[in-house]
């Protein structure tokens, strides 16, 4: 069993970006600039956004955080996005999800300038990605593709099972893996809450992507020998032994599944770190198109 080390791979991605930014600054160009919008005070969202901003700083990107209270009016958010859309100093805009119930997520996301849609959630990005055209790819699936590439994992002709059909992870992941592309060409089965015989489907999978948000859901009896297992789960579970009062659990019962796998991602230290690296790559790509 080999661990797919998100720390190592994300650091390699960030180091490359850091060098590219340093070279641009040396030639008197401005730094890439990410704008992050955070609504409310959801603990997990706070942590993710803080980490995104810290990572920007580490590699020489500029970042701006726009915070709003839980009961902000939708219109105020929309007005902020309109301003950021036309602000030439901003390359990427991300709105941390989930948003409070009274705000329609699609109204907010669909307003983002597709040229600054570094989360890849806008319908224009989704459409282009689905057609195999150059586009921003949502950060988590993109990060997983970078991981497969780094470890040169054979995907062509393999059976992949994606558990979860969210717009952020499961759906785009299933599209990417099925495409005629490097680290694609899988036969993909998308499983979800209505799927029957999930265990049998997983047992046929050479690659399993667990992205349903249920800690420890994928157990050893559901995994074929030598499978590649990618764990997207990052659920906070109460843990009094930790200072924070919680620990982060993946969707995979790592302790019992790991020994059966050819490759497996740990949680933490796996996909989560790759998500941030992929967001930074998208922001850099956006920046390059804005420089022209």
Active site (catalytic) residues: 52, 96, 119
Give the separation between CA 12 and CA 256, rounded to whole angstroms. Answer: 29
Which span (64-72, 90-98, 211-219, 265-273) binds ligand GUN, by CB under 6 A?
Answer: 90-98
C-beta closer to ligand GUN: residue 17 or 112: 112
Distances (CA, A) of 114 to 15, 34, 85, 93, 109: 27, 14, 9, 10, 10
CA 32 to chain CA mean position, Å:
20
Among positions 142-171, residues that touch ligand GUN (CB under 6 A) are: 168
Where do the H-state alpha helices sit in 27-42?
none
Residue in the shown chain whose Cβ atom is closest to ligand GUN = 97
SS3 sequence, 48-68? HHHHHHHHHHHHCCEEEEEEE
Cβ proximity to ligand GUN: between 145 and 222 the closer is 145
N-to-C CA span, the chain: 45
Residue 26 per-residue DSSP state = H
Of the pair 125, 275, the CB lying nearest ligand GUN is at 275
Instruction: Pick one of 72, 78, 97, 258: the residue that binds ligand GUN (CB under 6 A).
Output: 97
Residue 94 binds to ligand GUN (criterion: CB under 6 A):
yes
Report the site for ligand GUN in 4-23 (rule: CB under 6 A): none
Strands 227-231 and 207-210, bridge-based pairing: parallel
Choice from 80, 84, 117, 119 touching ligand GUN (CB under 6 A)? 119
96 sits near ligand GUN (criterion: CB under 6 A):
yes
Determine if 280 is a binding residue for ligand GUN (CB under 6 A): no
CA distances from 66 to 95, 99, 172 (A): 9, 14, 27
Count of residues interacting with ligand GUN (CB under 6 A): 9
Of residues 45 and 179, the one with the C-beta less far from ligand GUN? 45
Binding site for ligand GUN (CB under 6 A): 94-97, 119, 139-140, 168, 275
């Amino acid at each position: 069993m080999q661990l797919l080390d998100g720390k190592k791979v994300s650091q390699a991605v960030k180091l490359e970006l850091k060098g590219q930014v340093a070279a641009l600054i040396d030639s008197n160009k401005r730094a890439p600039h990410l704008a992050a919008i955070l609504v409310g005070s959801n603990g997990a969202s706070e942590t993710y956004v803080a980490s995104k901003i810290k990572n920007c700083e580490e590699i020489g990107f500029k970042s701006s955080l726009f915070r709003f209270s839980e009961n902000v009016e939708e219109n105020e958010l929309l007005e902020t996005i309109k301003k950021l859309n036309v602000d030439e100093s901003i390359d990427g805009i991300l709105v941390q999800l989930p948003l409070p119930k009274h705000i329609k997520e699609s109204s907010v996301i669909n307003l983002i300038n597709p040229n600054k849609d570094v989360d890849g959630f806008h319908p224009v990005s989704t459409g282009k990605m689905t057609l195999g055209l150059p586009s921003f790819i949502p950060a988590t699936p993109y990060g997983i593709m970078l991981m497969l590439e780094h470890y040169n994992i054979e995907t062509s002709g393999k059976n992949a099972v994606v558990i979860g059909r969210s717009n952020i992870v499961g759906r785009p992941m299933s599209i990417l893996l099925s495409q005629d592309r490097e680290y694609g060409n899988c036969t993909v089965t998308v499983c979800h809450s209505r799927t029957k015989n999930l265990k049998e489907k997983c047992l046929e999978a050479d690659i399993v992507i667990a992205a349903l948000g249920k800690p420890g859901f994928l157990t050893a009896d559901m995994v074929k020998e030598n499978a590649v297992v990618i764990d997207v789960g990052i659920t906070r579970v109460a843990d009094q032994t930790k200072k924070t009062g919680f620990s982060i659990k993946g969707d995979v019962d790592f302790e019992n599944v790991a020994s059966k796998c050819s490759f497996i991602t740990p949680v933490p230290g796996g996909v989560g770190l790759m998500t941030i690296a992929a967001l930074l790559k998208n922001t850099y790509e956006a920046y390059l198109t804005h420089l022209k």
